[in-house]
């Protein structure tokens, strides 16, 4: 089956569900909620225009934590506020604890997606916990 690219984490995954214009799809890698669109002969995923930035990042981190079996603690709300501030200033949900606003640092960052929580018991900024 043809793979489809997640515009958030840049990983291509197999979409098992039926393809339908405007359908909401969750990236199995980063948990991003996306919408499916047909462009020419191919299907592409876009960031969800139906969600506010706060809904988008909350759904994404909840999905990601659920997929991996991670937990949140009292650091969650200040970090969500930090992510929203980064979004307002720099246009995406870059990790509030990292200086570089680069695609690898979009939450859940590459380091976290690569297993830093398993290794260290938490992600770099303490949003996701084992
Ligand atoms: Zn993704």
Q: Give the alpha-carbon dihedral of 13, 125, 60, 67, to 10 degrees.
A: 60
CA of 78 to the centre of ligand 1 (A): 23
Rounded Cα distance, 113 and 51, in Å:
23
Give me the count of residues in the chain.
130
Instruction: Kindly indicate the confidence band of residue 115, based on its pLDDT and cuts at 50, 70 and 90.
Output: very high
CA of 29 to the centre of ligand 1 (A): 5
CA of 13 to the centre of ligand 1 (A): 9
Q: pLDDT tens for residues 25-64?
A: 999 999 999 999 999 989 999 998 889 999 999 999 999 9
CA of 128 to the centre of ligand 1 (A): 17
Flag whether pLDDT at 93 surpasses 90. Answer: yes
Q: pLDDT tens for residues 13-29?
A: 999 889 999 999 999 99
3-46 placed in CATH 2.60.40 = no
- Ordered by start, the domain boundaries in the chain are 3-46, 53-120
Beta-carbon contacts of residue 118 (< 8 Å; ≥ 6 apart): 130
Q: Residue 16 has what pLDDT?
A: 87
3-state secondary structure of 51: coil
Average pLDDT for 64-69: 98
Is residue 34 within 8 A of residue 91, CB to CB? The reply is no
CA of 30 to the centre of ligand 1 (A): 4
Mean pLDDT of the chain: 95
């Amino acid at each position: 089956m043809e793979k489809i690219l997640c515009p958030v984490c840049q990983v291509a995954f197999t979409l098992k569900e039926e393809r339908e214009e405007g359908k909401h799809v969750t990236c199995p890698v980063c948990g991003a909620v996306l919408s499916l669109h047909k462009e020419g002969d191919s299907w592409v995923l876009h960031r969800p225009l139906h969600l506010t930035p706060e809904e988008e990042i909350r759904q994404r981190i909840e999905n990601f934590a659920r997929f991996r079996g991670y937990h949140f603690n009292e650091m969650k709300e200040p970090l969500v506020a930090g992510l929203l501030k980064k979004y307002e200033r720099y246009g995406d949900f870059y990790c509030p604890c990292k200086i570089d606003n680069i695609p690898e640092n979009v939450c859940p960052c590459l380091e976290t997606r690569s297993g830093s929580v398993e290794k260290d018991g938490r992600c770099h900024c303490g949003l996701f916990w084992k």
